[in-house]
Structure 1
């Protein structure tokens, strides 16, 4: 398969490279000595309350106050006080994010939509790409979740159209500190975590995090179980050179969260959101997440610092699932369908009243995946200054090797390979037990690989006390391959498909200018691009067929413009506000000749986001964010093909969304907290020929309320009672929308119902 190369914009490349190089050439001739640092200068999160002053990224040069882009950091305290356990729990408190359902409606993996664009492959751990499509169910071994918003390929590589999410691993600290927490609650909630940090020699520290957890999904019946362990050791603690070895293992045994039927932006009238439509004795998902990390930080001289992270991971997820597909025939003899101009009610007649006639194809569905990765990122930080200018340059290289396999099949087959016909069941109280035959039949096996090699330069120049200029460039080379084969259900005979391969050269850049009228205020503007090849991860193949070929298509590209202000109201309180526009002007769509896809698609997202993080007073803490967004499709077809979606709103973009969490300490013993989440309406369909250009469907908006009460017995012991979704509001989170068959119809996972948890925390 011929490789495709993206020709960099040489004029832009030369201009940015020259701008980065000039300050350093000048400083080489005349520099003053830089103050000697006695130990490693870490970019780990330094937070007061809910305000993280720095990013953990070694590529970030300035504190967040002086960084020309929007970054929201969910600190360890933010996660603990709100009892945010999973990655989705955490991201649900961030505006501008929505969640989609996986294949056939299931939530297989973290399906994140960030500012209107798919971000499932935009997750990093300690700055290293982490593209395994698994559900990250627990944050027990992470200090923070960093949400970087706006095009960010320059920092994290392929994709990153609208930003990405970085998980910050817990590392040993230079102090003795131990914390044990036990949680008990409704829905069979039981949880134990331990975080033990110990200095074993003057320059050696170890840290051990452990977790065991079980609960039933609030408001439903799915059982969720997991445990994990994460040891780490640091040599050279407090010295100029530090080496850290860390390892994490987590195992999950869960019932699949496949939710309920969801049509036309709503749950189906008369059906309880707690109903389970699968087979509990068959359905299961098992996850094994094993990863190791080797980190080096070294102060090589007064103005040169080395940072290197190597990550090795081996992840597997095996699932047997049953999704709610079929005919849902109500007692009135009506079954829901997608609305069209020909059927504006969203219902059609059916014969078996009060019965659910399941689609056997997606019952007992087997989906087993493995994802392995070996990656390294190494950079040098160089600082130069004279009496007028201070310049800091970060330059680095890295590589990532990703390997992926996937086996699909089913269990509900007769011994001769014919599919079992499932009987109908009570629509309102369906049978959840399968007592018939089970015979595994494979349907598809696929394997993919992606090797990435990259280099980057980031430069920050401070001109006096008022101006800062940030420049960044990055070049990625990706080499990807994907093969698959299908199986006959009856004979299991193998039919191989054409192997797919794609190579791409990606050039990314960013520019930011910050003006500081006073030390506590930053007014900034920034511009950045993104590059996204069809195969942006080992699990995401291109299509090598003659019709609809995507392997021969160059990478998609997008630009992000941002104008904002950050104000440190007091040393512990930060206000941020920014307006942004993300333009995707080269999006893959079907070509006029029905062969290769072409980059003629266009869409955009406009928005405003504001936040307040930290301490208003020593007793009053707050973290609150709010966003408004609007997106439109500008072009989705070429040639003479009617463009029904032109002017439509981009799907799964909440028009308004926000979250507030605030706590107040009445005295040394008592603290109360309150939280409010709002998720606005989202479009779940587009206009198509199939639905006769029926107007776009919107989902329902919703509010949820949370609260907590904490009592502190002494400096070592406290208890916290926290309630989530206090009003027990029925709402839907992971939406399966815009499918090719139904467009506005699919499946959705109901959001967690009311839950109460008592946490007992003891530190020593």
Structure 2
């Protein structure tokens, strides 16, 4: 079952990069600058407008969102928004979406598990935003780990955002802006080598053929081990060609294709030390098992490179294909119409070991069960959206508006890997053996020691946990797959009204008609027909904001916004508490979760409009969250709330000194998680569920990031960054009894990962106009920290110190 580590010289990635090299050698060593299309984002540096090209990308400050639905510059938009420009991606060596989002305070990454596929799972202000990811304004929620090689910028909107981006978006949304052909001619190659056999090559070629046609080609090859994580590796390649017809005219058509393929050994993380039942104290904070004492007195030290997976079993493969067409026309009156059509198809498959603490072995005996999480499946979508934007006056009121019509169709299917497709027998891992870890299961490598796991154990797949007949791991039958499809018709209208020079009003509204169909998988031996659940919802969401402008470079605002999360909005691509495949519930009982945000803030462009500074206070509250009733039925009474304050900054303090970062304080609280039943001697009583009154999972109370660069000389730039994250909880549980007619909690348990500081450093030296060198040191102090907390079982350990050097060649 060993998966190949390397790609041959005849593999698609090497062939693609070879073709790129031939093209780049043919690009003339010159650059021409012409006027850029009016709707493309720009940055400002030292009072000079800088376009998004591979030649001059030194700006940290962004003036305008890419989406036409934002009808005012950022300083006059009454929302908390952070834009990560391409220069920040480069300076921080951010090669994935997860890397990039670490630069933004208030965002954490959630962990995968059996019900939640591996992939990007950002939490914004405490809310799972896996279903709130977009590519160029088009919903893109397929489970995958996104790359940055073809990314121009990443836009993060915080607070309820359904009105902008559709269903979901309770805590905010993330829009990835891709690179497109421009009127500038350039070619750039970055070649990186670093510690832990880090290898990466990216190529970005932009070639205007003439004033009418322009092409751009981005390509990437990446291969690395992961510092401090044993045999874990990540290998991927991608290519993204695009062509624009009408490059400099009022009418244009851009066609692009994006392909990404990944092959990796997924990281299983570190188990928690105790379960609720075997914890030695009545109230326990249960963290990752690094150093602890077992019940039988063993002193356990877990080295940072402890890996509990199996090299001969575990793998993860993903393939992403996206085709996009974008038509744009600017009328003589300044109105712009834009139509975007995209088809995307994501496929993912994996067998992934999770060190499962639920059996009690970690604390009892210093052993851990190698639970196998498996999945295969696809996600596809077809989207068409038309935007009309422009400006006009009515009397003395100036309007900047955007109107949109959208259609979005999504389809997904997923199953699991098994040892026998006909019977659906699970992969042999000892799951039917009790106790889970004993002499026999250790001998079969179903379990291993916590302190000294061997990822190269000679594990074999058998037809059952006790059989001696070997069998191949295969995909489950199609009828066992969970199927989901959804369609969404929507219309929206936004307007920024300038009533006077000092008073602006921002309004927006959206209507969505969402229809979702889902069918839970059958057992492999079932002869029954599939059953389907259908839900239809009409969603009305809004945003409203008032801005006072005491000066042209600043604003004070108050805003409110509403989001709506219909049942099944994750389309089988994430673990949601509002899934429509839940058994024993009438589809008519499904309710839409609703979230309302309030925000009061101020924004200023300082230092000749080169530095953006924003401060805000906020509240986001969700109602109708699904809860489990004491009898096992479901109801929609859950309520949760997060409040806080945020400071963010990005741009240039001087022409030589740029900064990017912020601080967030956001205490969160589950106000109502429903009721739990306790039964003792035939007497049953109810009491609030364990989560009630506690913070949200994956929601730090404090988070801080700062990144800065300083140009010491015209050729030498030095910089660095710091990240602080306070304690993050994975989940809460308790055990209960009844005493004197009252429910009494006898034990409580909170899983968590501890707070941490992380520091990075970087330096760039421009040898010539064409050749530059950059050095990045990530996690400079080699801090051992954990960046993801799951509710049970395990926490994800971050990479150790990684140092890499990059040679950049620009034509």
TM above 0.5, yes or no, is: yes
Q: 1:289 to 1:551 in 2, by over 3 A?
A: farther
Q: Partners of 1:310 and 1:358 in 2: how far apart?
A: 47
Equivalence for 2:504: 468
Q: Partners of 1:455 and 1:380 in 2: how far apart?
A: 12
More displaced stretch, 266-275 vs 370-379: 266-275
Equivalence for 2:611: 573
What is the Cα deviation at residue 318 of structure 1? 1.2
Select which of 124, 145, 153 maps to 1:114.
124
Equivalence for 2:704: 658
Say whether the 8 Å CA contact 2:518–2:581 is kept in structure 1.
no
What is the Cα deviation at residue 387 of structure 1? 7.3
Q: Does structure 1 residue 201 correspond to structure 2 residue 210?
A: yes
Equivalence for 2:262: 252
Q: Does structure 1 residue 479 correspond to structure 2 residue 515?
A: yes
Q: Does structure 1 residue 708 correspond to structure 2 residue 728?
A: no
Say whether the 8 Å CA contact 2:535–2:587 is kept in structure 1.
no
Select which of 336, 346, 364 maps to 1:315.
346
Equivalence for 1:514: 547
Equivalence for 1:456: 492
Describe the SS at the equivalent of 1:93: coil
What is the Cα deviation at residue 192 of structure 1? 0.5
Q: How does 1:103-252 map to 2 (within 5 A)?
A: 103-104=113-114, 108-136=118-146, 138-220=147-229, 221-252=231-262
Equivalence for 2:454: 431
Equivalence for 2:771: 717
Describe the SS at the equivalent of 2:596: strand
Q: Partners of 1:233 and 1:214 in 2: how far apart?
A: 28
Q: Partners of 2:359 and 2:536 in 1: how far apart?
A: 46
More displaced stretch, 719-728 vs 645-654: 645-654
Q: Does structure 1 residue 678 correspond to structure 2 residue 724?
A: yes
Q: Does structure 1 residue 301 correspond to structure 2 residue 338?
A: no
Q: Does structure 1 residue 756 correspond to structure 2 residue 803?
A: yes
Q: 1:412 to 1:256 in 2, by over 3 A?
A: farther
Q: 1:55 to 1:667 in 2, by over 3 A?
A: same
Select which of 476, 481, 484 maps to 1:445.
481
| Structure-1-length-normalised TM-score | 0.86
Q: Partners of 1:759 and 1:323 in 2: how far apart?
A: 35
What is the Cα deviation at residue 487 of structure 1? 3.0
Select which of 268, 274, 288 maps to 1:266.
288
Equivalence for 2:320: 289
Say whether the 8 Å CA contact 2:381–2:410 is kept in structure 1.
yes
Q: Does structure 1 residue 406 correspond to structure 2 residue 460?
A: no
More displaced stretch, 542-551 vs 662-671: 542-551
Q: How does 1:314-333 map to 2 (within 5 A)?
A: 314-325=345-356
Q: Does structure 1 residue 643 correspond to structure 2 residue 688?
A: yes
Describe the SS at the equivalent of 2:89: helix
What is the Cα deviation at residue 686 of structure 1? 2.5
Q: 1:103 to 1:435 in 2, by over 3 A?
A: closer
Q: Which runs of 5+ in 1 are unaligned?
A: 1-37, 330-334, 337-346, 738-744
What is the Cα deviation at residue 480 of structure 1? 0.8
Q: 1:748 to 1:315 in 2, by over 3 A?
A: same
What is the Cα deviation at residue 698 of structure 1? 4.5
List per-residue Cα deviations over 1:112-168 (Å, max 9, x = no partner): 1110111111101101111111222x2101101111101000001111001011000
Say whether the 8 Å CA contact 1:654–1:681 is kept in structure 2.
yes
Select which of 779, 794, 810 maps to 1:747.
794
Q: Does structure 1 residue 42 correspond to structure 2 residue 39?
A: yes
Equivalence for 1:378: 386
| Structure-2-length-normalised TM-score | 0.81
Q: Partners of 1:105 and 1:278 in 2: how far apart?
A: 19
Say whether the 8 Å CA contact 1:40–1:299 is kept in structure 2.
no
Q: 1:608 to 1:412 in 2, by over 3 A?
A: farther
Say whether the 8 Å CA contact 2:728–2:789 is kept in structure 1.
no
Say whether the 8 Å CA contact 1:179–1:761 is kept in structure 2.
yes
More displaced stretch, 292-301 vs 68-77: 292-301
Q: Partners of 1:189 and 1:231 in 2: how far apart?
A: 25
List per-residue Cα deviations over 1:598-655 (Å, max 9, x = no partner): 3321110001111111110011111121100011111122697311443222222101
Q: How does 1:49-60 map to 2 (within 5 A)?
A: 49-60=59-70
Q: Does structure 1 residue 618 correspond to structure 2 residue 655?
A: yes
What is the Cα deviation at residue 499 of structure 1? 2.0
What is the Cα deviation at residue 265 of structure 1? 2.6
List per-residue Cα deviations over 1:718-762 (Å, max 9, x = no partner): 10111010111011112212xxxxxxx321211110000001111
Say whether the 8 Å CA contact 2:729–2:789 is kept in structure 1.
no
Say whether the 8 Å CA contact 2:401–2:496 is kept in structure 1.
yes
Q: 1:119 to 1:327 in 2, by over 3 A?
A: closer
Equivalence for 2:598: 561
Describe the SS at the equivalent of 1:172: coil
Equivalence for 1:542: 579
Q: Partners of 1:675 and 1:211 in 2: how far apart?
A: 25
Q: Partners of 2:423 and 2:629 in 1: how far apart?
A: 44
What is the Cα deviation at residue 366 of structure 1? 3.3
| Cα-Cα RMSD | 2.4
Say whether the 8 Å CA contact 1:648–1:687 is kept in structure 2.
no
Say whether the 8 Å CA contact 2:43–2:60 is kept in structure 1.
no
Q: 1:637 to 1:548 in 2, by over 3 A?
A: farther
What is the Cα deviation at residue 674 of structure 1? 1.3
Say whether the 8 Å CA contact 2:418–2:424 is kept in structure 1.
no
Q: Partners of 1:418 and 1:666 in 2: how far apart?
A: 60
List per-residue Cα deviations over 1:206-236 (Å, max 9, x = no partner): 0000100100012112111111111001111
Describe the SS at the equivalent of 2:98: helix
Q: 1:664 to 1:416 in 2, by over 3 A?
A: closer
What is the Cα deviation at residue 447 of structure 1? 1.3
Q: Which runs of 5+ in 2 are unaligned?
A: 1-34, 46-58, 274-285, 292-300, 431-440, 461-469, 677-684, 737-744
Q: 1:217 to 1:557 in 2, by over 3 A?
A: same
Q: Partners of 2:515 and 2:802 in 1: how far apart?
A: 47
Q: 1:167 to 1:418 in 2, by over 3 A?
A: closer
Q: 1:204 to 1:543 in 2, by over 3 A?
A: closer
Say whether the 8 Å CA contact 2:406–2:490 is kept in structure 1.
yes
Say whether the 8 Å CA contact 1:101–1:747 is kept in structure 2.
no
